[in-house]
Amino acid sequence: MSLVGKKAPFFSDSAVVNGNDIVENFSLKQYEGEKYVIFFFYPKDFTFVCPTEILAFQNKIEEFEKRGVAVVGCSTDSEFSHWAWLNTEKNKGGIQGVKFPIVADLTKTISMNYDVLAGDYDYNEDGEAFFNGAPVAYRGLFLIDKKGVVRHSLINDMPLGRSVDEALRMVDALKHFEEYGEVCPANWKEGDDAMQASADGVASYLSKH
């Protein structure tokens, strides 16, 4: 089920922040009332597409920060795996230099609650538990507003990397709607015309475009 329009599922778990510090009981609750959040999942540390996405978010971190957005990553690896990857040089496959928090979802409960886990637990005829599918997260992304409500979500299969620029565009669209009450049409970007959510507003916009 889609989480859009609902409160983002709560969690409190270990994370690596500032690229080097392991903290316990990390939660998105700390941002409520203060910042928007881009919360994204990726399949696994020390892989292939994942570092390109994580480094792309870091390369645009100032763009997110000036919009009042906290970027937070998450995978089903442990905080120790995150720490090791964050402290591995880029030319050796690492993501050294990334400063935004990366959450450890070793129990997979966060991924399950956000409905991005690429499989689920089941039982065989003997009552033995097993995991059906891949025990890692799809490439889920959630834009969460200052009230803790999910306003946008995107889930990609594992081979399909995301667009960081599109995440920024969605932040801009949400902020524009909140500030001006105007809705944002297809392919809208900051500086373009938006429109009033009415028949007259649509007609006026279409007549100009």
Per-residue pLDDT reduced to its tens digit, 133-156: 999 999 999 999 999 999 999 999
How far is C-alpha 123 from the geometric centre of its chain's CA atoms? Answer: 31
User: Residue 56 domain-assigned?
Assistant: yes
User: How many structural domains is the chain composed of?
Assistant: 2
Q: How confident is the model at residue 201 (pLDDT cuts 50, 70, 90)?
A: confident
In a shared domain, residues 170 and 208: yes
The catalytic residue positions are: 50
What confidence score (pLDDT) does residue 79 get? 98
In a shared domain, residues 65 and 154: yes
What confidence score (pLDDT) does residue 121 get? 84
User: Residue 5 domain-assigned?
Assistant: no
In a shared domain, residues 21 and 86: yes
The pTM (predicted TM-score) of the whole model is: 0.94
Residue 120 sits in a domain whose CATH number is: 3.40.30.10
173: containing domain = 163-209
User: Residue 76 domain-assigned?
Assistant: yes
In a shared domain, residues 41 and 68: yes
**Cβ-contact 27, 10 below 8 angstroms:** yes
User: Residue 8 domain-assigned?
Assistant: no
Q: How confident is the model at residue 1 (pLDDT cuts 50, 70, 90)?
A: confident
CA angle at residue 6 from 159 to 173, to 5 degrees?
Answer: 70
In a shared domain, residues 130 and 198: no
User: Residue 4 domain-assigned?
Assistant: no
**What value does the mean pLDDT of the chain take?**
95
The answer, yes or no, to whether residue 45 has pLDDT greater than 80, is yes
User: Residue 60 domain-assigned?
Assistant: yes
In a shared domain, residues 154 and 169: no
